Structure 1
Amino acid sequence: MNTRHSCLAEAKQSPHGKASAVVAAVLSLALAACGGSGGGSGSGSSAPVPIDNGGNPSANALGRYDLFNQCWVMRANGAYVRRDGADFVADADATADTAERFYMRAANLARYLFYTQDERLMTASGPGVSTAALSEPEGGSDWTFTEAGNALNAATLDGALAVAGDGSLVLGQTPAALRFEPATGCAEYPEMPLGMIGQSYTGNANEPVLGFAEVHAHMSMGSEMSDGSRNVGPTAGGVQWGHAANRFGVPHALGDCEQFHGPNGTLDPEALILDLTPGTTHDTQGWPTFVDWPANDSQLHQQMYWRWVERAWMSGLRIMTVLGTNIEALCQVAQATGPTRGQNPADLDCVDMSVGMKQVEYLFGIQDYIDAQFGGPGKGFFRIVGSPAEAREVIAEGKLAVIPGLEFTNIWGCNVTFLPDGSEQRACTREDIDAEIDRVWDAGVRQVFPFHDVDSALGGAGLFSNILEIINFVGTGRFFETYACEDGGEGENFLFNAGLTSLAADAPLLGQILGNDNPITSTLLGLTNGAVPTAESGRRCNVRTVTDLGIYAIDKMMKKGFIIDIDHAEIRSKQIMLDYTATTEPDYPMVSGHGGQGGINNEQAKQIIAQGGVIYPGNFNGFGHETFLQQLRPLWDASGTTREFSVGYGADANGLRNLPGPRGMGRIMATGAVNYPFQLFQGPGWGPQFDNIAPVTVEMLSVPGNDGRMWNVNEGGMYHYGMIPDIVEEIRLEGGKDALDSYYNSAETYLQMWEQTLTASQNARSLPVPQEVPR
């Protein structure tokens, strides 16, 4: 049975209390919050009741989390704070009417920005220096609050917010006692519109989960931690612009990208390295105008700003795997050719394990940031989980269960270098693998890729992208060694095609592709000693498969209980993994979560399903999703599984991959356009399982500050992750009830797979340690 979150109910049940007049005022504020904001768009959350504790020492004190995203006047040591030019003064003669209005924007848990009526920030520039209102935030704009009796203290830059002898607010050693009273008349801090009217739905922990699963996302890609403490070090050497969450909010999370991509985007490695289209430029403007980005084909601009993920959650997203990722060799190329980008060199590196684990750490920072926007620890919709039982509890509360993972080549630090004599030099041992597995598990990681884009000491990469020929050489010292893929590598016997044609077979030499005077060309050719791959005909697969060290690592991952994603493994490596994981009781399930890179033939697909695994495609548009359902359904039925048919997705957002393109006139003529606004959970295609869920209205998102331009899925496809509800409507148009049923079954199927993983893991611990690769 699903029930609806009630904003008013939460307001009435607030733990705070006061005299009836204040309660009446507070309830009016709560009712206003229930009505939504920003042109009628409501969010799935409600604010706790703000309490006036300013002049009544018996009143319940505000906690340090309670000020979030609301309008207040402040008293410092009993006196109201007013403006004095650019400065702030605690004035005994001031009143609530003459006091400065502060919109207290949550910068993180118990951390706030004082946003003034004239849209400036109260900022301290150093110890002993008066605070001043600045138009752009600095480190001294970010204030950390602590509780002191029935008052609050605030601090920044290693100093406390204090009151000088003349009443001026300064940084000092003796913190002022701060008290806050609700107010009106604030300038609201800028934020991305949500464009959803309604509330998210809850569930029942004793019933199957209703919702869909996203099993391959890279939300924690960004250039710094959400609290500003240090750099994350994202893939491609720091050229992915933008943050999922930033302490200074959306203006800085999604600001102008010129610092990273150069004037007019001329240093954007997406054009130079990935698209092989030199001379491509883009307008670098970000918030609020967004001229050229985000866009479905803009791979190196942030696609998963937290507010966009909130929009997806409100449409039924209930499982999301977020993977720390990197490509060491691509990172090295980008660092060698790009600008300084203003990053701290001490924090910036290209090592897979280092970068990936920073992104996992950042993921917990994102959770804290979202909690801060909803009122404190545990209050947000975004909950990191470590087990399927935790996930079910979180989802029953109507929240999103987030699973940390890792996806990169040199997992466990297992790089490989191929020497001129044909031998290989491995960077890890069994003992290293054991230690890293324990460290990563203890950090909260639960899903792992044994293989990725480049060969490693564990085995070979599944081939799927021509540019990886060059990247593999940079990373290992040689190009891929290939063979003609079995059965041609494509056709009716394959769910996902295997292998690829080589770079040299598809394009002129690298210098002709990029231009000999291009800095990327000279860097790449320098790193490869001028070599380019040899042209070979037909689809080619990687000769290198699972090594003895690789099967040891897979065995250890099974015994620890990791969810293992089979994508990116060479197609023969996939078979080795499937057969080895079938030796447990029950079978240890495998995941193919975003398109089967390296290839999956039909027999392997049936084996994945029969062993309790899942196969979810990259995030297609509605037509692509329906087409994939028609391909997978016969294999699902032939596998013998008794599980409900389900298909989620792995959007690979922020993963150097395009998002779904425009709906297109052909599909609009065939099945109709997405007509805004539209409703979820009610109407044609929505089955009886949605009967007790209140509908949510989805509006077309407007581009803030861009004179009426809209993010319309019909015209531009999936501009960013906030378009997931629009893709859901496309799926309904293309596939109706059957498509929606399988989509909203996918979170439950994923949890069943995870539960089987843990059961199989317990039994796998009795298996002997493999000494060689089973053939």
Structure 2
Amino acid sequence: MRSVVRPAARPTLRLAVAVWVASALVGSVLVLNHGDQPAGSGPGSGAPGADELKKSYSATAANTTKKPGDGTVFNADGTHAHDPGSPPHDDNDPKTKNAISRSATTADADTVDPTTPAAARVHESSVAAQRAERPVPLRAAAGDPAQPSVPTDRYNFYNSCYGLQNTGNGRWLAGTGMAATSAAASTPLYFKPTALGTYLLYAPDGTYLGAKSGKAAYATQPGAAVNWTVTQVGTGVFRLSLPGVGYLASDTALGAVVVGSPSSRTQFRPLKRTGCKTFPEITTNVVGRPAAGVSSFQETRGYIDAHTHGMAFEFLGGDLHCGRPWSPWGVTVALKGCQNDGLNSVTGAAVETFLSGKPGADPVGWPTFKSWPAPNALLHEGTYYKWMERSWQAGQRLLVNLLVENNQLCTLYPIKRNSCDDMTSIRLQAKDMHLMQSYVDAQHGGPGRGWYRIVTTPVQARQVINAGKLAVVTGIETSVIFGCHLYLGNPTCTTGSIDKQLDEVQRLGVVQMELVNKFDNALAGVAGDEGQTGMLVNAANMLETGSAWKMSTCAPNDPEVHDKDQTLSVPVPSQDGLFGALLSVLPGNILAPILNVLPALPVYPAQHHCNSLGLTQLGAYTVQGMVKRKMLFDPDHMSVKARKQALAVTEAMRYPGVVSSHSWSTPDAYPRILQDKGFVAPYAGDSTGFVGKWKRMLTWANPRIYWGIGYGADINGLGAQGNPRPNAAANPVRYPFTGLGGVKVYQQVSGSRVFDINKDGVAHYGLYPDWVEDLRVQAGSKIVSDLQRGPEAYLQTWERAYGVKPDACTNPSLRRYPSFFRTKLRKGATWWTVVQKAGQPHRRLDKQFTYCAKRGKTVTVRFNARGRLVAVKG
């Protein structure tokens, strides 16, 4: 890797910039990293027809587009300001997060959307035809392994109640003694898994079995000191040990003791019993077994979230985020609140109050959850594993978890425990994903038993989904991928270093990746940010690259296809996230020197603005490298110029593996991606706004490929979640409602709080099933059907990235003679081998694939239960 020596900035300015950005820029991280939304709203409910929908966009453009002299206030450079008297832009306002593009304000559609009304009608008709086809057969998934009276292995203790009998003397553990002569007289202990094969032993009085001075003792708090490792000695016989302390043993005189070496007196036979105090935990409130496929290789059903940050508790140094998706010590630790964590003791309480959006905010999480989780509680954990489990139980079957970092924000924030290096943070988060998978496995009976399954190929993903579990794809969204900084035009990476790190992240399991996030880097320019947020991020871009964004007037200057528009002056963002909170608590003599010296930003020309930095040669090389490794390329957050160039690269390589995951592209790109046989998942946002995005996407549907839609929650990525629907009281979601496969979904209960989508919105990840039901209430069964087809659409895009040809029924030029199937497909071949040779079938129902052949013939390929070819007919 070529190093670049960065020239020192002027000390006074550099110090002022660093201090200011540390409080203002990093503080406003609520809206910087991913949650910043464009002004204006996306399409509403709209009219059902394609022509009417297109006309409504044209009317919107005519009514909202203003020119100099029509009453709009313009700056000296020609850029426009907010109308006189208009309120400051609020990036978390529900009205601003529902545009079809979060990268450019939606002003009109016809000027940029290449889809004509006639084509839109064809696209919508093709969707309707696909919906009308034969339903996919489903079954109830297998449940957790049974727990007999005596555990069968060291994982079989999970979340259950046991008494412990010493096999040497037949005595039972009672308190700290070994005097009990019957199971009924023993102390019932609840075995709460902390990882695979390790447990907290929770007593009826709410204490934890541990050791002190060589004897058994009970502690009041969970932790490593009471984390027992269980090992199996023989059938129904186990040992329990505390690492670094010793083994639980029976002593005639002393009772229960802890000794240094194993022997016959350290052997115990657990017996299942009643009387335990249940370990504190959040409930999912979903009744019924999750839906699964009839075969492991059939067409899938479920929902896909194509963009979430489940391991974001580690990013920005690890101390800005409050809470985590799991803790070995349980929910009371994972979601305990922020009183003493991350935010320093001087400002912590005031900041918590400020960020909640109301005075007297309660920073406590479990068990009251008074002020968080909430749609705009952006620094608080939203993906606790039981909340995710609820989403899975109700119907979600695919999740793209993006590893995330922002090195400048992390460096400037004063409190941290983790490295700020993007790639170091990504490695840590990838490791965490596997730790969480093991933790979920432990809660369900052992390795591979859990519902959270990390996958690296479309074959694995299909098998996991059809087993009724959640397929988890690993992605990356970070500001400086692969250490590819750009400073004063000089890159800090080479083609060699890019290849090395592409190989590394592929070994980490990364499948889907963006090239940029918030700052220009050596691979591409970014779309930027707008308003006060844009000024702050642009200042950070100066620290990162040595220059501000190179924004110029777009040519052609289109009101919809452009990057984030920049303003001229730099007002003090007194109500911008954490910075506003700091202003409310820090004395003026500390703030004055910070506010008096601000970084000089350029005066930009007339809007609309486009970043002149497009895709660099290193960026094109990276895209090509992703294609060679069959990775899915996400063009979100790129500048318009860079994205157009990147799509030209994938098109030249005839590569369909392109996914736009959370509405951070522009409306010219979405139909292009779909026509290239890729996949688009709009940002979830409010349910009303998503209905509008779905209606517009119907006009872009590619009739040549399988139709399905996903959503990008962007939760934990500082993206605001859906607010309650304003008219919910008149037409509410009613509980319980029915989820995928007939499961019943009741109101979610976390601790002492009961959540209601009608009042709370998407307060946490577990309310996404309720959000989907809210879509059904507004738009009917069609939108739910299209969402349930989402995982299959994503999987087929992923398959095509492997070189698999698309469906010949909708691509007639790919049809083959029936004899091809009879002679080229051999009995015993796997279903994946068949797909690689024959292309994607039109349908995959149960154990039979259907293909369109030449001369109007239909060919069926049949498999056995193991997915091996047994017959070809047609």
Query: Same fold per TM (> 0.5)?
Result: yes
Question: How many residues end up aligned between the 2 structures?
Answer: 655
Match of 1:327 among 406, 409, 417: 406
Secondary structure, counterpart of 1:446 in structure 2: strand
Give the equivalent residue in structure 1 for 2:866: none
1:108 and 2:195 are equivalent in the alignment: yes
1:117, distance to aligned residue in structure 2 (A): 1.2
Map Cα deviations across residues 345-402 of structure 1 (whole Å, 9 max, x no partner).
xxx2111111111111100111111111110011111111110011111111111111
Secondary structure, counterpart of 1:605 in structure 2: helix
2: distance between equivalents of 1:69 and 1:328?
A: 40
**Measured at CA, do residues 73 and 320 of structure 1 come closer, stay the same or move farther in structure 2, by a change above 3 Å?**
same
Give the equivalent residue in structure 2 for 1:678: 737
> Partner letter of residue 446 of structure 1?
V
1:152 and 2:242 are equivalent in the alignment: no
Map Cα deviations across residues 146-182 of structure 1 (whole Å, 9 max, x no partner).
2222321222232332326423322422261121001
Give the equivalent residue in structure 2 for 1:600: 666
1:726 and 2:770 are equivalent in the alignment: yes
1:2–1:201 CA contact under 8 A, matched in 2: no
Secondary structure, counterpart of 1:472 in structure 2: helix
1:574, distance to aligned residue in structure 2 (A): 0.6
Give the equivalent residue in structure 2 for 1:550: 619
1: distance between equivalents of 2:350 and 2:600?
A: 20
Map Cα deviations across residues 590-642 of structure 1 (whole Å, 9 max, x no partner).
1110112xx4133x222111111111111133311210012222222xxx542
1:51 and 2:149 are equivalent in the alignment: yes
1:565 and 2:634 are equivalent in the alignment: yes
Secondary structure, counterpart of 1:755 in structure 2: helix
> Partner letter of residue 680 of structure 1?
G
1:51, distance to aligned residue in structure 2 (A): 3.2
**Measured at CA, do residues 526 and 505 of structure 1 come closer, stay the same or move farther in structure 2, by a change above 3 Å?**
closer
Give the equivalent residue in structure 1 for 2:324: 243
1:213–1:318 CA contact under 8 A, matched in 2: yes
Give the equivalent residue in structure 1 for 2:312: 221
1:525, distance to aligned residue in structure 2 (A): 8.8
Secondary structure, counterpart of 2:510 in structure 1: coil
> Partner letter of residue 211 of structure 2?
A
1:630 and 2:695 are equivalent in the alignment: yes
2: distance between equivalents of 1:425 and 1:388?
A: 38
1: distance between equivalents of 2:497 and 2:625?
A: 12
**Measured at CA, do residues 269 and 601 of structure 1 come closer, stay the same or move farther in structure 2, by a change above 3 Å?**
farther
**Measured at CA, do residues 189 and 457 of structure 1 come closer, stay the same or move farther in structure 2, by a change above 3 Å?**
same
| Structure 1: gaps spanning 5 or more residues | 11-44, 53-60, 223-232, 419-423, 682-692, 762-775
> Partner letter of residue 663 of structure 2?
G
**Measured at CA, do residues 191 and 279 of structure 1 come closer, stay the same or move farther in structure 2, by a change above 3 Å?**
closer
Give the equivalent residue in structure 1 for 2:657: 589
> Partner letter of residue 144 of structure 2?
S
**Measured at CA, do residues 479 and 452 of structure 1 come closer, stay the same or move farther in structure 2, by a change above 3 Å?**
same
1:215–1:320 CA contact under 8 A, matched in 2: yes
> Partner letter of residue 220 of structure 1?
M
Secondary structure, counterpart of 2:340 in structure 1: helix
2: distance between equivalents of 1:109 and 1:503?
A: 56
Give the equivalent residue in structure 1 for 2:291: 201
1:287 and 2:366 are equivalent in the alignment: yes
1: distance between equivalents of 2:526 and 2:631?
A: 20
**Measured at CA, do residues 594 and 189 of structure 1 come closer, stay the same or move farther in structure 2, by a change above 3 Å?**
same
> 1:249-328 alignment to 2 at 5 Å?
249-262=330-343, 266-267=347-348, 282-328=361-407
Match of 1:234 among 315, 318, 321: 315
2:166–2:250 CA contact under 8 A, matched in 1: no
2: distance between equivalents of 1:548 and 1:525?
A: 42
1: distance between equivalents of 2:709 and 2:477?
A: 21
Give the equivalent residue in structure 2 for 1:409: 479
**What RMSD in Å do the two structures reach over aligned CA positions?**
3.1
2: distance between equivalents of 1:520 and 1:551?
A: 49
1:462–1:571 CA contact under 8 A, matched in 2: yes
> 1:189-588 alignment to 2 at 5 Å?
189-203=279-293, 204-222=295-313, 233-235=314-316, 237-262=318-343, 266-267=347-348, 282-334=361-413, 336=414, 338=415, 343=417, 348-418=418-488, 424-465=489-530, 466=534, 467-486=536-555, 488=557, 490-491=559-560, 494=561, 498-502=563-567, 504=569, 515=583, 518=586, 530-534=598-602, 536=604, 538-585=607-654, 587-588=655-656
> Partner letter of residue 148 of structure 1?
V
1:249, distance to aligned residue in structure 2 (A): 1.1
| TM-score between the two structures when normalised by the length of structure 2 | 0.70
2: distance between equivalents of 1:271 and 1:74?
A: 45
1:427, distance to aligned residue in structure 2 (A): 2.3
Secondary structure, counterpart of 1:759 in structure 2: coil
1:508, distance to aligned residue in structure 2 (A): 5.9
Give the equivalent residue in structure 2 for 1:185: 275
Give the equivalent residue in structure 1 for 2:76: none
1:271, distance to aligned residue in structure 2 (A): 8.0
1:698, distance to aligned residue in structure 2 (A): 1.3
Secondary structure, counterpart of 1:624 in structure 2: helix
Give the equivalent residue in structure 2 for 1:38: none
1: distance between equivalents of 2:593 and 2:786?
A: 48
> Partner letter of residue 590 of structure 1?
V
Secondary structure, counterpart of 2:139 in structure 1: coil
2: distance between equivalents of 1:481 and 1:378?
A: 50
1:729, distance to aligned residue in structure 2 (A): 0.7
| Structure 2: gaps spanning 5 or more residues | 1-135, 806-874
> 1:607-686 alignment to 2 at 5 Å?
607-636=672-701, 640-665=702-727, 668-669=729-730, 672-681=731-740
> 1:4-83 alignment to 2 at 5 Å?
4-5=139-140, 45-52=143-150, 62-78=152-168, 79-83=170-174
2: distance between equivalents of 1:148 and 1:355?
A: 40
| TM-score between the two structures when normalised by the length of structure 1 | 0.79
1: distance between equivalents of 2:476 and 2:603?
A: 33
1:506, distance to aligned residue in structure 2 (A): 6.9
2:166–2:172 CA contact under 8 A, matched in 1: yes
> Partner letter of residue 140 of structure 2?
H
Give the equivalent residue in structure 1 for 2:802: 758
Map Cα deviations across residues 545-581 of structure 1 (whole Å, 9 max, x no partner).
2112111122112111111111011111110011110
1: distance between equivalents of 2:642 and 2:672?
A: 14
* Percent identical: 26
Give the equivalent residue in structure 2 for 1:89: 177
Secondary structure, counterpart of 2:183 in structure 1: coil
1:527, distance to aligned residue in structure 2 (A): 13
> Partner letter of residue 589 of structure 1?
G
> Partner letter of residue 71 of structure 1?
C
1:95, distance to aligned residue in structure 2 (A): 1.8
Give the equivalent residue in structure 1 for 2:57: none
> Partner letter of residue 306 of structure 2?
V
2:475–2:511 CA contact under 8 A, matched in 1: yes
2: distance between equivalents of 1:363 and 1:71?
A: 29
**Measured at CA, do residues 736 and 530 of structure 1 come closer, stay the same or move farther in structure 2, by a change above 3 Å?**
same
1:75, distance to aligned residue in structure 2 (A): 1.7
1:115, distance to aligned residue in structure 2 (A): 0.6
2: distance between equivalents of 1:237 and 1:3?
A: 41
Map Cα deviations across residues 709-762 of structure 1 (whole Å, 9 max, x no partner).
42111112100000011101111011112211211111110001111112189x
2: distance between equivalents of 1:738 and 1:718?
A: 22
2:683–2:713 CA contact under 8 A, matched in 1: yes
Stretch deviating more after TM superposition (303-312 or 545-554): 545-554
> Partner letter of residue 362 of structure 1?
D
1:110–1:146 CA contact under 8 A, matched in 2: yes
1:489–1:498 CA contact under 8 A, matched in 2: no
> Partner letter of residue 601 of structure 1?
P
